[in-house]
Amino acid sequence: MASMECKTFRDRLDSWIDGEKSADARAHLAECSACRSLAEDLTAIASAARITAESDPEPPAYLWNSIRARLDDEGIIRQPRLVRPECDAFIDQLDLWLEGARPAEAQSHVARCPDCQRWAEDFAAITIAARATDEYEPEPPAYLWNSIRAQLENEGIIRQPRLVRPQCDAFIDQLDLWLEGARPAEAQSHVAACPDCRLLAGDFAAITIAARATAEHEPEPPAYLWNSIRAQLESEGIIRQPRPSVIPAPAKPRRGWFGLPRTAMAGAFAAVLAVVGLFARGPLTQRINDYRWMQGTQTSTALLTAQLNTVEHATVASLRSDPLVEASLHKNLAIVDNYIALCEKSVRENPQSEMARDFLYDAYQQKADLLAQMNEQGD
């Protein structure tokens, strides 16, 4: 039997990967090492992709765009979307559309093309939801409050006034409202009379401000949040699922690159991206990692900052020393605080920088040491 040519085999490669192993294809592979190697590689990728697809059905839309754009840029894939040039042009301009730009051609295309109309609607809904998520986070969650308070109480940094004084107890119960700006007359008079509650309110107000400042610096929601938002929007029927209807449903699952199902292709892309990522860190990966590093740093420093602030209040209040020595200590405390602020800014700008984090931790260490030294002065 005459063996087929390489070109013919590669044209039918998707069938081979799907398991349709014809006799002439087998014969060709037996004698062509290049095609055999290619078939083995793609079969392995497809297999890995199917496993990945089973555990993670779909990457989020923006990830698709980012992956595709990057692979396009680097010439790794061909551009299948050239099937419909008008759709392609619209998708290229989707970012502008979502920002409110409405060129005449795009408007007329969206009016005619139901697929692009859905794309635009879905992405607009996701964008709105994501912005709303970003703005939401008025204050740290309840568990964080409880954890901070419990830790401070455990370590004796703050006293537990509510066990002793019912008025303090009532004030603490209303502390959330106080921190939101409510100032009932009884609370005001109690705070004026009670140093413990005044200190407590001051500390928690500082923590709230710090937490809000932190929340404002979050660059964007992480990937899992995107997935969660989309799933929630889809489950509530707020958005439709665009992808199956972008192209009329074929008899077989939609085929993409070398005829792989799209979910499998997602896995393949992920595998390729992982390899590519080893050599070049893409901006998307970097942003996600930045976010994760930032979260880790904030988690590890939030409690420390609160503790240092509390110790600072107590230490400064009890400092009894030569005025010159006190002045020197205050001046150096201001230097350390400035150092901490600049290091925090540096970490926010570059969360993955180990050196920036080292400087930040070092700054905290310096402050702790200085406070200890000041504490000795007060003894």
Q: Which residues bind another protein (CB under 8 A)?
A: 321-325, 328-329, 331-332, 335-336, 339, 342-343, 346, 350, 353-356, 358-359, 362-363, 366, 369-370, 373, 376-377
Q: What's the closest the beta carbon of residue 298 comes to another protein, in angstroms?
A: 19
Which residues, including other chains, have CB under 8 Å from residue 47's CB and lie 6 or more apart? none
Burial letters 313-334, b for 16+ CB under 10 A, else e: ebbeeeeeeeeeeeeebeeebe
Q: What's the closest the beta carbon of residue 199 comes to another protein, in angstroms?
A: 26
Q: Which alpha helices (DSSP H) does 236-322 contain, by range?
A: 243-246, 262-279, 283-318
Q: Which is nearer to another protein, 30 or 335 (CB)?
A: 335
Q: What's the closest the beta carbon of residue 328 comes to another protein, in angstroms?
A: 4
Q: What's the closest the beta carbon of residue 224 comes to another protein, in angstroms?
A: 25
Q: Which is nearer to another protein, 131 or 330 (CB)?
A: 330
Which residues, including other chains, have CB under 8 Å from residue 34's CB and lie 6 or more apart? 6
Q: Which is nearer to another protein, 86 or 312 (CB)?
A: 312
Q: Which is nearer to another protein, 305 or 321 (CB)?
A: 321
Two tokens at 290?
A: 């930045």
Q: Which is nearer to another protein, 236 or 379 (CB)?
A: 379
Q: Which is nearer to another protein, 53 or 363 (CB)?
A: 363
Q: Which amino acid is at 156?
A: G
Q: What's the closest the beta carbon of residue 359 comes to another protein, in angstroms?
A: 5
Q: Which is nearer to another protein, 266 or 360 (CB)?
A: 360
Q: What's the closest the beta carbon of residue 272 comes to another protein, in angstroms?
A: 22
**Distance, first Cα to last Cα, the chain:** 99
Q: What's the closest the beta carbon of residue 346 comes to another protein, in angstroms?
A: 7
CA angle at 36 for the pair 33 and 37, rounded to the nearest 5°:
85
Q: Which is nearer to another protein, 186 or 362 (CB)?
A: 362
| Element spanning 227, H or E | helix 223-235
Q: What's the closest the beta carbon of residue 360 comes to another protein, in angstroms?
A: 10
Which residues, including other chains, have CB under 8 Å from residue 360's CB and lie 6 or more apart? 297, 301, 340, 343, 344, 346, 347
Q: Which is nearer to another protein, 232 or 373 (CB)?
A: 373
Contacts made by residues 25-30, CB under 8 angstroms, sequence distance 24+: 27/1, 27/3, 28/3, 28/4, 30/3
Tokens 């920036």 sit on residue:
356
What would the DSSP string read from start to end of 168-193?
A: HHHHHHTHHHHHTT---HHHHHHHHH
3-state secondary structure of 34: helix
Q: What's the closest the beta carbon of residue 343 comes to another protein, in angstroms?
A: 7
Two tokens at 67?
A: 């992956």
Q: Which is nearer to another protein, 309 or 346 (CB)?
A: 346
CB-CB contact of 222 with 230 (8 Å): no
Q: What's the closest the beta carbon of residue 342 comes to another protein, in angstroms?
A: 7
CB-CB contact of 187 with 178 (8 Å): yes
